[in-house]
Amino acid sequence: MNNFKFFHQLGVKYPLIQGGMAWISDSSLAAAVSNAGGIGIIAAANAPVDYVKNEIRKAKALTDRPFGVNIMLLSENAQEVARLVCEEGIKVITTGAGSPGKYIKMWKEHGITVIPVVPSVALARRMEKEGADAVIAEGGESGGHVGELTTMALLPQVIDAVSIPVIAAGGIGDGRGIAAAFVMGASGVQIGTRFLVAKECTVHPNYKERIIKAKDIESVVTGRPTGHPVRVLRNKLTRQFEELERTAAPLEKYEELGAGALRKAVKDGDTEYGSVMAGQIAGLIKKEQTAKEIIEEIFAQAEERLGAVSFSSVVKMDA
């Protein structure tokens, strides 16, 4: 199968999905990414269904290109959002935090392409059996909720394990990462952190500035004892989480500390006590650009890297 046939069938120019980031991936960003030739995603997260509906309709007014919705399956609103996407004619769904199995039949009946995010081979195989059209193999380098395997370790194992297209995610922020994913056999990429600094991204300017100033070693994972670890940039909040771990605090203390922390960073611009979710590639990001500029730049870089590298040019074979 042509690696990129899957995206061509979806009617998009670039084999790219924008990450579904809670409180961040709204109609403004999703429409901008779709207009630039990728697949923009609106994050439903724990938002009320009316909010998701309004964002979908705003996006429809901003673009005539395909865009999708990310559904967090642990959300108490997941079932209502699962029906909403059918009513609104959404063409692409990405899912996280659980299995979408009970909704797949309904979504397929409405012509929706279903792409779950998976952190393991076992879950990828399960998603294929349940009828997913593709999977996003997301390594622990990504921002937000993470698994244990790195993208370079996870991606080829998932590709070997399933026959459906596999999209790479986690630790991809420029054309070099895209080229590496393609060489390993990915059918496309999902990118989140790089789009935090898109001009169409509506996060607080303080959040964008924090990403642009991030250093390579500033990413940290918090909340491992809860079973739901989260990758963020270091700040006073992460130090408080580290203290909870050091003192073996009860799990409810983690929940209390994390309540509303992402919104505090995204909307209020509190980058000290808010949760500044970002992937390990944040240190690569140096400037704010439009979504179109980002996409065109990274795919031009990928094309250049793929064209420049051949096996014979990097490995000298003995005669």
Say yes or no: domain 5-202 is CATH 3.30.450.260: no
Per-residue pLDDT tens digits for 71-111: 988 888 888 999 999 999 999 999 987 788 889 989 999 99
In the block, residue with structure tokens 């199968």: 1
Q: Where are the domains of the chain?
A: 5-202, 205-280
pLDDT at position 227: 84
Helix axes 78-87, 49-62, angle to 10 degrees: 30
Q: How many CB atoms lie within 10 A of CB 76?
A: 7
For residue 145, give both structure tokens. Answer: 């909720």
- Distances 19 to 30, 70, 172, 196 between C-alpha atoms, Å: 9, 8, 11, 10
Closest CA to 117 of 131, 129, 134, 103: 134
For residue 40, give both structure tokens. Answer: 């923009």
Distance CA 296, CA 26 (A): 21
- What is the spatial order of strands in the sheet that 230-233 belongs to? 144-145, 230-233, 219-222
Taking the CA atoms of 275, 168, 78 and 56 in sequence, report the sign of the dihedral they define. Answer: positive
pLDDT at position 319: 44
Per-residue pLDDT tens digits for 17-62: 999 998 899 999 999 999 999 999 999 888 889 999 999 999 999 9
Percent of the chain with pLDDT over 70: 95
In one-letter notation, the amino acid at residue 176 is R
- Which residues are paired to 72 by β-bridges? 96
Distance CA 166, CA 175 (A): 18
Q: Is the pLDDT of residue 112 over 90?
A: yes
pLDDT at position 192: 95
Per-residue pLDDT tens digits for 123-176: 999 999 999 999 999 998 888 887 888 999 999 999 999 999 999 999 999 999
